Structure 1
């Protein structure tokens, strides 16, 4: 099993957090992982993306050139990264913020209203966790239990009170894929 993932959006959308959670979760499950962040020059609101690989085999390079999946949080990221998904791969699009469809007909596209779902749960900041839940439902790259365990490592024990809300977001994202 090897998942080659591009996660992209604006800074502040939790793009890097998703990548870190997947990476730590892979380590929890004794998988080989890599995480390669890329930031725009702005502190917040600029572009941000990361390459994540979760694999049961060896990883030759942390750079993802043909992604098996892309998680796209905003329109500029769709424009930039949809071409980098392998034929037959997956594109998860945050349909709350992106009003267009992918131009690709050779990939599986999933439109998840992540911000709308996050707002229904009472916190717009968890849209990334909605998308992560959708991704995990689709690919089974790591277990949701591993994400919860990794949450403590990424955000620290002081944020562990946020785990129930984030668990809800993961579950709602998974539901959005199941339809």
Structure 2
């Protein structure tokens, strides 16, 4: 098993922390892991992406040109990364703010309306966990137990009271993700 993932969006959407939680989860399952963030100098609103590789065997390089999975959280990321998905790959996106939906027919496309759902949960901070839950529904490569352990490890202890809310957000993402048929 080798899963090469790009998670991309704006700063402030939890892109890097989602990648870190996936990476910690992989480590806890004795996988080989690479986590490589990339972000602009802005704290919020700038572009941010992270490459995560989870593998059963050694990872030769964290630098990727093509991905198995793209988790896309804004239009700029859709425009930039859709073309770098391997044929047969997975594109998961949040529909909020997307004006040009995925166009490729040689990939599997899923949508999760995580921003809308986070608003319903009255906690914008759960956005990335809803997206993570949607991803894990499609590709359950790490267990929920390890995701929660990864979340606990990546959250400062003063935020551990939010673990139940984050778990609920992950579970909600599992429920609301939908496959999209690309037409055209």
- Mapped contact 2:110–2:178 kept (Cα < 8 A): no
Structure 1 residue 172: Cα displacement: 0.9
Residue 121 of structure 1 corresponds to 121
- Mapped contact 1:96–1:112 kept (Cα < 8 A): no
CA deviation map 1:75-118 (0-9, x unaligned): 10100111111000000010123133102111111111010111
Flag structure 1 segments of 5+ consecutive residues without an equivalent: none
Number of equivalenced pairs = 179
Flag structure 2 segments of 5+ consecutive residues without an equivalent: 180-184
**In structure 2, distance between residues paired with 1:125 and 1:97:** 18
Relative distance call for 1:3 and 1:90 in structure 2 (3 A) is same
SS at match of 2:69: strand
CA deviation map 1:7-36 (0-9, x unaligned): 000000000000100011111111110000
Residue 63 of structure 1 corresponds to 63
TM-score (norm. length: structure 2): 0.93
SS at match of 2:5: strand
- Mapped contact 2:112–2:178 kept (Cα < 8 A): no
Residue range with higher mean Cα deviation, 51-60 or 148-157? 148-157
Residue 151 of structure 2 corresponds to 151
CA deviation map 1:122-164 (0-9, x unaligned): 1012111111001111111211211111112111222111011
Residue 161 of structure 1 corresponds to 161
**In structure 1, distance between residues paired with 2:178 and 2:168:** 15
| 1:31-110 → structure 2 map (5 Å cutoff) | 31-110=31-110
- Mapped contact 2:111–2:178 kept (Cα < 8 A): no
Residue 138 of structure 1 corresponds to 138
**In structure 1, distance between residues paired with 2:67 and 2:126:** 24
State the Cα RMSD in Å: 1.2
- Mapped contact 1:5–1:64 kept (Cα < 8 A): no
